[in-house]
Homo-oligomer: A and B are copies of this chain.
Amino acid sequence: MSPSSASKTPTIQDVARRAGVSAATVSRALSAPEKVSDSTRAKVTEAVEATGYAINQAARSLRMREARTILVAIPNMGNPFYSTIMDSVVREATLRGYGVLVANRVGNDPTQWLRDYFSSNRADGLLLFDASLELGHLPEPPRQKGLLPLVLSCDEIIDGGFNLVMTDNRAGAERATRHLIDQGHTRIGHICGRLVHQFPNERLLGFQDAMRKAGLPIRQDWLFPGDHSMVAGVDAGDRFLALSDRPTALFCANDESMIGFLSRTRAHGIECPRDISLVGFDDINIAENYWPPLTTMRQPRNELGRVATATLIDILEGTAPSGEGLRIVLPSELIVRSSTAPLPATRQAVGL
């Protein structure tokens, strides 16, 4: 395979020598083909193939002061919702010639661990999944050189200055809740997502919107705290079981907490949708094959990942529309399966 006797990986010099041109010309032929004559380009192309040359990214990064790499920060990689997004992120980034680095928070300085990636020239931009974890700690101003955060897919409310790509959480939550109302339910509760400093997030707001518009009361004891995890759903199930006066339907901030709730309550004889109707959010892979199949708001995860990545790279390359507090909102979609059912007329009559 290796053409020359030297076992080193070929450099641009090797290509240049073989093509009978200078290294500068090879560089140009590769990154700006139009600046080079046809014959030269052909010679270089041949030489590249013959030598098996691949660019040394480290050298390029050093010289160009850019890593051609984006950093993806995920709070909880095990979450199936995020892991699916990752797929489209990596795909889009690869297509555009960017590498994808993954970061976990390690250590206890919430600022430093992200910052280091940039100051050490390892990444040019940041894709932050789920704002709750880090947003408050991000260095100011957020858009300082080399730190271009792009937040996506959070249901928290983000104050300006950050570039966002997200689903229409509030409208989606309202749609989900309305589905319950349309089915005749009036006694409706909510398993909440993460609340930052007790502030309502977008999905809670959407839930409230729907309830208010329908003239339905929002009962505090039917508002279950949560954090998008399955155990939060299990906890909500416990609280539900302890209730003397129970709702007949629940809007869950995401599918995982819904699954936790279902699992716990079913173990205590509560049947869904016979005894309780549930709508979730996300439409994770398993939603369709759970029992019962989950009614849920589908987020366009592939689009989310693709658009966020494309936008970030556009910003990095200076081709983004503006780069100033961009806000791209993608629509969600109600997927009706079997975890919701009309409230039986009998129960409706007696006010249950």
Chain A positions within 8 Å of B, measured between CB atoms, are 7, 9, 52, 54-59, 61-62, 67, 69, 72, 76-80, 82-84, 86-87, 90-91, 94-95, 99-104, 106, 115-117, 119-122, 145-146, 230, 233-234, 259-260, 262-263, 266, 285-286, 288-291, 293
Query: With A and B bound together, what is the CA distance between A260 and B273 in angstroms?
Result: 21
- A263, B288: Cβ atoms closer than 8 Å: yes
Which residue of B is nearest A229, CB measured? B285
Q: How far is the CB of A153 from chain B (nearest CB, A)?
A: 15
Contact A230 B289 (CB under 8 A): yes
Assembled-state Cα–Cα distance A52/B115 (Å): 11
Q: Are B77 and A78 in contact (CB under 8 A)?
A: no
What B residues does A106 contact at CB under 8 A? 91, 94-95
Number of copies of this chain that the complex holds: 2
Chain B residues positioned under 8 Å from A146 (CB to CB): 9
Instruction: Assess the A83–B91 pair: CB atoms within 8 A.
Output: no
Contact B67 A77 (CB under 8 A): no
- A267 CA to B242 CA in the complex, in Å? 31
> Which residues of B lie under 8 Å from residue A120 when comparing CB positions?
54-57
24 A-B contacts, Cβ less than 8 Å apart?
Answer: A9-B121, A9-B146, A54-B116, A55-B120, A57-B67, A57-B122, A58-B61, A59-B121, A61-B61, A69-B101, A77-B83, A77-B84, A77-B87, A78-B84, A80-B83, A82-B83, A83-B86, A90-B104, A91-B106, A94-B104, A99-B122, A234-B289, A263-B289, A266-B291
Residues of B within 8 A of A82 (CB): 83
**Would B121 and A57 count as touching, CB distance under 8 A?**
yes
User: How far, in angstroms, from A260 to B293 measured CA to CA in the complex?
Assistant: 12
Residue of B nearest to A76 (CB): B87
| Partner of A67 from B58, B90, B230 at Cβ < 8 Å | B58
Pairwise interchain contact B54-A119, C-beta atoms closer than 8 A: yes
Q: How far is the CA of A207 from the CA of B43 in the complex (A)?
A: 58
A263 contact from B57, B262, B290, Cβ within 8 A: B290
B contact residues around A80 at 8 Å (CB): 78, 80, 83
Complex-state Cα separation, A217 to B146, whole angstroms:
64
Q: Quick check: A91 and B78 within 8 Å, CB to CB?
A: no
CB-based nearest B residue for A65: B58
